[in-house]
Amino acid sequence: MNAAGPLPVIDVAALTGSGTGPGAGRERAEVARRIEAACLDSGFFYISGHGVPEALIAELRDAAARFFRLPEEHRSRISMERGGRAWRGYFPVGGELTSGRPDLKEGVYFGAELDADDPRPLHGRNLFPEEVPELRPAVLTYMDALTHVGQAVMRGVALSLGLDEDYFAAGYTATPTTLFRIFHYPPPPYAEPDEWGVGEHTDYGLLTLLLQDDNPGLQVHTARGWIEAPPIPGTLVCNIGDMLDKLTGGLYRSTPHRVRNCTGRGRLSFPFFFDPGWDCEVPPLPSLPAREGGRARWDGLDLRAFSGTYGDYLTAKVAKVFPGLGGQVLPPARGARENV
């Protein structure tokens, strides 16, 4: 496996800035061209120029580190069982089964801060730890900032597909589904060679924007084999999810990835998921030519066979990786779930 990782670093400042000066259109087109190349290749790239303040990132990292230093008994005060069908809160090491077996990670799940009685599964109130009061503002401000970054990168994706730059913001991401997680991967030893911090998987939505600490561990399955995606200061890792794969008829692939922390230290990571609106159906874009066949997916799933809303897709996925939560989050059967 490579040590440094050949994934490209794309400066997206032309997409995040107000960008009305002379040459702005040309700069955006150039960034879009680089996004297109990365999406056609591995579906993974780093972004710089994202505009998220360093001070906010430092606050988030410090607050998260403090939370994971709390005794387990205190972390469990915001345990996911208390979040119910909103799917929020803390889960311990082994609590999530990303690819069918327990991951060697613990974490906290957050989403948009909504009313506690929101009727939709995976929507509602976040659980924040009383012991680390600074976590709440850091998480909510960071999620806001990352929502802007997500919209900016999707402007580039739209341009790369020959669409109007606001194509997604005017539809699929007018009210995006946004989820945020903080993971702690304890140091090894791993008991068995096929144990993973996060097992091989693809992400569910449009884009994932991942902040890492200084510790490597993320691995990406490219056409050239598994490669590492080590942390690069000042950047976020961006990868495309199943819904962008589905929208583009498989032109932009959601690429499998996994995590193993071999550093001897705890690793913190902060994935933010920028996804279609809950009620959006996600058929292939009409402007793209229909594609036949294609590569077999890591999980044997044919994304084209899924019809239903993004909410249906996400709910079924969550019920799989958190079997204990399934009964709470799943609405009455709607027939779309078998294809997930």
Ligand X SMILES: O=C(O)CCC(=O)C(=O)O
Site of interaction with ligand X (CB under 6 A): 181, 183, 198, 203, 210, 218, 257, 259, 269, 271
Q: How many CB atoms lie within 10 A of CB 170?
A: 11
CA distances for 305 relative to 126, 283, 308, 337, angstroms:
33, 10, 10, 11
Q: Which two tokens stand for residue 85?
A: 């069908």
CB of 155 to Fe ion, least distance (A): 23
Which residue has its beta carbon closest to Fe ion?
203
| Rounded least distance, CB 220 to ligand X, Å | 10
Q: Which of 36, 96, 203, 312 binds Fe ion (CB under 5 A)?
A: 203
Judged by beta carbon, residue 28 or residue 267, the one nearer Fe ion is 267
Q: What is the closest distance, in whole angstroms, from the C-beta atom of residue 203 to ligand X in the complex?
A: 5
87: partner contacted, choices ligand X, Fe ion, none (Cβ within 5-8 A by kind): none
Q: Which helix (H) or strand (E) holds 41?
A: helix 24-41
Helix H segments across 161-294?
A: 242-247
- Stretches 19-27, 162-170, 203-211, 248-256: which one binds Fe ion (CB under 5 A)? 203-211
Name the residue nearer to ligand X (CB basis): 210 or 240.
210
Which residue's CB atom is positioned nearest to ligand X? 269
Closest distance of CB 72 from Fe ion, Å:
25
Report what 259 binds from ligand X, Fe ion, none; CB cut-off 5-8 Å by kind: ligand X
User: What is the 3-state secondary structure of 218-251?
Assistant: EEEEECCEEEECCCCCCCEEEEECHHHHHHCCCC
d(C-alpha 150, C-alpha 30), whole Å: 18
Q: Which is nearer to Fe ion, 271 or 311 (CB)?
A: 271
Tell me whether strands 177-185 and 267-275 are parallel, antiparallel or unpaired.
antiparallel
Strands ordered across the beta sheet of 225-228: 198-201, 257-259, 218-222, 225-228
Residue 124: CB minimum distance to ligand X, A: 20
Q: Residue 71 CB, nearest distance to ligand X (Å)?
A: 23
Listed residue (61, 55, 54, 117) closest to 86, CA to CA:
117
Q: Which residues lie near Fe ion (CB under 5 A)?
A: 203
